[in-house]
Amino acid sequence: MSSDLGILDSLGDEAIGDILQSWSGFCACTQALVDGRGDLSVGPDLVPLVATLCRHGLASLVRDHFLHALEETFKKNAVFKFWQQLHAYYDAQTLAVSKLHSQEGWPEEILNKSLEEICSEKGYLEKCLLILIHAFQSCEESISAEKVNLEQYGSNLIYRYQLMVSSVLLTTLPRHFPEMLRFYFKKKLEQLSTLMAEDYEDGNRFQIDDQKSKSNLASGEMDVDGSNRETIFSKNTSLVKNIGAVVRDLRSLGFTSLTEDAYASAIFSLLKAKVHNLAGDDYRAPVLGSIKEWIQAVPLQFLHALLAYLGDSFDYDSMSSGLKSPLASRPSCYPGIDSPSEGLVRWQLRLEYFAYETLQDLRIGKLFEIIVDYPDSYPAIQDLKQCLEYTGQHSKLVDSFISSLRYRLLTAGASTYDILHQYMSTIKALRIIDPTGVFLEAVGEPIRDYLRGRKDTIKCIVTMLTDGPGGNPSGPGNAGDSLLEELNRDAENQESTDYDDDINSDDKQAWINAERWEPDPVEADPLKGSRNRRKIDILGMMVSIIGSKDQLVNEYRVMLAEKLLNKSDYDIDSEIRTLELLKIHFGESSMQKCEIMLNDLIDSKRTNANIKASLPQPSLSGSEQGETDISLHILDATIISSNFWPPIQAESLNIPASVDQLLCDYAKRFHEIKTPRKLLWKKNLGTVKLELQFEDRNMQFTVTPVHAAIIMQFQEQTSWTSKNLAAATGMPVDTLNRRINFWISKGILAESAGSDSDDHVFTIVDDVNNNGLIHGSSEGLLAADEEGERSVASVEEQLRKEMTVYEKFIIGMLTNFGSMTLDRIHNTLKMFCVAEPSYDKSLQQLQSFLTGLITEEKLEMRDGLYFLKK
């Protein structure tokens, strides 16, 4: 500008007059042109005026003035009106969005119309600009030297005009406009989606009917016939054209990215709704396939048509050349689209990623329920696996799942069995998603931590392992199959089927590195090693809750002892099977003692048979003589190698003389067969089947020897005081009072207050009429189980006994130090208790002992520190 004006100084009066005249002519002509309302007749007048001004070097002044005139006119004639038309509906939109949905034709009609109007105004003004450019070109012909320069001028002007249009619109843009565009596209897409869904369904049905034999719905590999798709799509052409026109107009006004954002967000929100709709809360069917099909069928078809309408270039080489996307690994099918443009391929990737992420978030949010539902929810797990492989957002899963575990599972209300079951299902389900076990490790840790704080954890684990869900009241009722059986079957299956998890190993490895996990040591050959590293040891994960396999084996041994000692038939087939499985997993030497225990049962059966065989056969006639005269035939024995069994609970008991005599005879015969071995009876152990014979009825019971000894005392004497009965049966009074409850609960004995306040009187209820309770006579109830009386000392009791030596030491340490952590107590004991008995307990064992001391109120614990209880 300054250079232009500088010219004026060097000009003569005549030239100045010429310029002034041309300038006012130019201004008037410009005004007439832009106000012409379609009348371009004044156009040719512009040429000489522009030429004169250009000659005087005022080209840029001409250009600026003309553009300014265009801008003013555009503002005046189009912009204000455009916004106002749209604004009229804006209030309605904010006030009643719901009403709008029912309001037909909004905003599409008003938007169409307004856009048409503003674009025609814009188009007219552009024509005016072309006349100016033409004028520039004419004078360029006379000043041929500046040809190139002026041509640039022309395109530059168009560009500046475009810029002016968009900046005018953008600076006056109302806040609600993008929202309105989104609303428009959403509405249009929904219409399109409905139309297409109908056609798509029709198409599918047609397909299925047509090729029943070939079509495979389950796999989701519906190969839709291209031509069929084309006809379906053509029905919707007018709708797409309509949308296309709006997009084209918006683009021409400079709203290119705003428009793309708007339809993209409409597409994504539609896709999101579709994913939620398809996925729902049903975990028993795969949905990923249908989601991908839908992406192909609706949004991609729409985008294809839209891009084609807008004339975006087709890039025929894109598939073969540069694109190394996840798409490249699998054949992609675009029904009805011969060759997708690069833009479309990019759209597909975006949409698929979004769908994967949406489904993944949905499934992760419900992972707890999905795992509860496992294995029925296997399809949902598979979907989630695929999503995560695509998005790589495994850490999201870990975080979300851990928090739902804390909130829903690891609470006082959940039974240990429930927690263990969920832990098992978690292992099984996550093993599918992540064969390396990396996430499982992260997710499992809080569960394991929590379970370690529960007293019955080991017991529950052992029961699950060896008894199966049958022995577990709250577990799902699978056919009484133990976890060990299942693991064994799994292991066999894994050997026979090669799973193909090699494809994604690179992604996995990348993720692992990214998360700075420490992967298992990698063997020299990564290809060879990968499969071996991937075996997830379920049993190992169960054992890791307990701390060591020795503790597990110990607990099992106690449970096995209890079970074996209560057997009256020597039938140990299932125990042998379990032992074989345990041997596979824990090694033969760990199970040595258990094997000896089982062997004792086998030997006992044989010895028992030998002893019976040496007896004279009972004479048939003699069976009637004297019912008190009982023969050795009714006696069986389990003979144990006590060194290999857990400590047996010794309980004093006088058994009836007749039975005692049988035991003596039996022992004598054993000694004869097995010299110099001898028998030592554990008189309180075993089971007794007996029949109570009343005048009017007989009742059979299976009880412990203690119960048998008690009830047999009532044959001679129908009423006993507890003191006398305790003396007769050789047990402490409180034990007697506890154990006799069994007979009272069965209605066989009645209890009444004695002369002495703490001496009860027990009387046989001989008359059925006095006894309101009639119990099933042949119930095979094992009283011992019912009362929780055990034959074998529990692992805890054993540990308690062994640890008592250290109790004084621990109390002494805490007196000196005030408070100590578990680790410090453990290490101090290790350091100082080296003399016999040297301290050889594990951290877990110490912890459980200390927990016992807390229960006894000798210690207390705060913030991981142990204190003496004051």
Partner 1 sequence: MKVKILNWHAVASWTWDAQDEACGICRMAFDGCCPDCKFPGDDCPLVWGACNHSFHLHCILKWVNSQNSQTSQPHCPMCRREWQFKA
- By CB atoms closer than 10 A (0-12, 13-18, 19+), residue 171 is exposed
Closest CB 838 distance from partner 1, rounded Å: 18
- In angstroms, give the least distance from the CB of 619 to partner 1: 19
Does 718 contact partner 1 by CB under 8 A?
Answer: yes
Q: Choose between 141 and 785: whose C-beta lies nearer to partner 1.
A: 785
Q: In the bound complex, what is the minimum distance in angstroms from residue 592's beta carbon to partner 1?
A: 7
End-to-end CA distance of the chain: 95
Q: Which residue's CB is nearer to partner 1, number 603 or number 751?
A: 603
Q: Which of 149, 700, 778, 842 binds partner 1 (CB under 8 A)?
A: 700
Does the footprint of partner 1 cover residue 868 (CB under 8 A)? no
Q: In sequence order, which residues have a C-beta less than 8 Å from that of residue 698 and are 6 or more positions away?
A: 691, 692, 777
DSSP annotation of 782 = B
Q: With respect to partner 1, which residue has the nearer C-beta, 66 or 670?
A: 670
Stretch touching partner 1 by CB under 8 A, among 260-268, 637-645, 751-759, 826-834: 637-645
Distance CA 475, CA 167 (A): 69
Question: Site for partner 1 (CB under 8 A): which residue of 615, 634, 664, 773?
Answer: 634
711 binds partner 1 (CB under 8 A): yes
- Residue among 674 and 800 whose Cβ is closer to partner 1: 674
Angle (nearest 5°) at CA 483 between 477 and 485: 105
**Dist. CA 679–CA 747, nearest whole Å:** 37
Q: What are the structure tokens assigned to 611, written together? A: 């002893």
Cα–Cα dist 225/208, whole Å? 12
Q: Is 603 in the site for partner 1 (CB under 8 A)?
A: yes
The residues in 659-698 that bind partner 1, with binding defined as CB under 8 A, are: 659, 662-663, 666-667, 670, 674, 676-683, 685-694
User: What is the nearest approach in angstroms of partner 1 to the Cβ of residue 455?
Assistant: 28
Near partner 1 by CB under 8 A, which window of 168-176, 298-306, 351-359, 593-601?
593-601
Residue 153 or 670 with smaller CB distance to partner 1? 670
Using the structure block, give the residue that is written with the tokens 């402490």.
732
| C-alpha dist (Å) from residue 470 to 476, 479, 803 | 9, 7, 35
382 Cβ partners below 8 Å, 6+ apart? 286, 432
Number of Cα atoms under 13 Å in the Cβ half of residue 771: 21
Segment interacting with partner 1, rule: CB under 8 A, options 7-15, 506-514, 538-546, 636-644: 636-644
Token pair in block for residue 292: 């991908």
Q: Is 336 exposed, middle or buried (0-12, 13-18, 19+ CB in 10 A)?
A: buried
- Hey, which residues between 250 and 289 contact partner 1 (CB under 8 A)? none
Radius of gyration over every alpha carbon of the chain, rounded to an integer in angstroms = 46
Helix (H) or strand (E) holding 701: strand 698-703
Instruction: Kindly state the smallest distance separating residue 868's Cβ from partner 1, in Å.
Output: 40
State the minimum distance, in angstroms, from the CB of residue 574 to partner 1: 19
Single out the residue of 848, 846, 849, 868 nearest to residue 858, CA to CA. Answer: 868
Query: Contacting partner 1 (CB under 8 A), which of 180, 264, 565, 846?
Result: 565
Q: What is the distance between the alpha carbons of residues 342 and 364, in angstroms, rounded to a whole number?
A: 32
Neighbours of 93 (CB within 10 A): 18
CB of 403 to partner 1, least distance (A): 51
Query: Of 40-48, 318-326, 629-637, 847-855, which part binds partner 1 (CB under 8 A)?
Result: 629-637
Rounded Cα distance between 601 and 597, Å, is 7
Grouping H, G, I as helix, E, B as strand and the rest as coil, residue 616 is coil
Question: Looking only at residues 509 through 548 of this chain, which bind partner 1 when binding is defined by CB under 8 A?
Answer: none
Neighbours of 46 (CB within 10 A): 24
Which of 152-160, 312-320, 325-333, 643-651 is the region at the interface with partner 1 (rule: CB under 8 A)? 643-651
- Three-state DSSP string of 92-108: HHHHCHHHHHHCCCCCH
**Nearest distance from C-beta of residue 484 to partner 1, angstroms:** 23
Bridge partners for 753 per DSSP: 760
Burial (CB count <10 Å: 0-12, 13-18, 19+), residue 548:
middle
Closer of 205 and 606 to partner 1 (Cβ): 606
- In the numeric block, the tokens 């000692």 are attached to 565
Site for partner 1 in 767-826 (CB under 8 A): 791
Least spacing, CB of residue 725 vs partner 1, in Å = 15
Choose which of 146, 595, 807, 860 interacts with partner 1 (CB under 8 A).
595
Token pair, residue 95, equals 């006030």
CB of 595 to partner 1, least distance (A): 8
- How far, in Å, CA of 138 to CA of 126, rounded? 18
* Segment contacting partner 1 by CB under 8 A, of 178-186, 237-245, 496-504, 560-568: 560-568
Residue 279 vs 597, nearer CB to partner 1 = 597
What ranges in 740-842 are assigned the alpha helix state H?
Answer: 741-745, 783-787, 795-817, 822-832
What string of DSSP letters covers 294-354?
Answer: HHHHTHHHHHHHHHHHHTPPP-TTTTTTT--SHHHHS----TT-SS--HHHHHHHHHHHHH
* CA 14 – CA 20 distance, rounded (Å): 10
* Token output for 100: 């709008």
Fill in the per-residue mask, 369 to 408: x = in contact with partner 1 (CB under 8 A), - = not in contact.
----------------------------------------
| Both tokens assigned to 2 | 């300054």
For partner 1, how many residues bind (rule: CB under 8 A)? 59
CB-based contact 47:71 (threshold 8 Å): no
- Find the shortest distance in angstroms from Cβ 691 to partner 1: 4
Dihedral class, residue 437 (left if φ above 0, else alpha if ψ from -120 to 50, else beta): left
Of 498, 518, 627, 836, the residue at the interface with partner 1 (CB under 8 A) is 627
Secondary structure class of 828 (helix, strand, coil): helix
The answer to whether 714 touches 749, Cβ cutoff 8 Å, is: yes
Closest CA to 546 of 416, 356, 396: 416
- Minimum CB–partner distance for residue 479 and partner 1 (Å): 30
Hey, is 622 helix, strand or coil? helix
Smallest gap from residue 764 Cβ to partner 1 (A): 6
Q: How far is the CB of 865 from partner 1 (least distance, A)?
A: 42
Only segment of 47-55, 402-410, 531-539, 630-638 that touches partner 1 (CB under 8 A): 630-638
Binding residue for partner 1, selected from 641, 661, 827, 855, defined by CB under 8 A: 641
Q: Binding to partner 1 by residue 78, rule CB under 8 A?
A: no
113 or 678: CB nearest partner 1: 678
Q: Which of 130, 308, 414, 637 binds partner 1 (CB under 8 A)?
A: 637
Task: Using the minimum distance from each CB to partner 1, give the nearer residue, 508 or 683.
Answer: 683
Smallest distance from the beta carbon of 722 to partner 1, in angstroms? 19
Q: Verify binding: residue 725, partner 1, rule CB under 8 A.
A: no
Instruction: Provide the minimum distance between the beta carbon of 684 and partner 1 in the complex, in angstroms, as a whole number.
Output: 9
Looking at beta carbons only, is 443 or 711 nearer to partner 1?
711
630 binds partner 1 (CB under 8 A): yes
Cross-strand partners of 225: none
Q: Smallest gap, in angstroms, from Cβ of residue 703 to partner 1?
A: 11
- In the range 736-765, which residues lie near partner 1 by CB under 8 A? 764
Binding site residues, partner 1, CB under 8 A: 565, 567-568, 592, 595-596, 599, 603, 627, 630, 634-645, 648, 659, 662-663, 666-667, 670, 674, 676-683, 685-694, 700, 705, 708, 711-712, 714-715, 718, 764, 766, 791
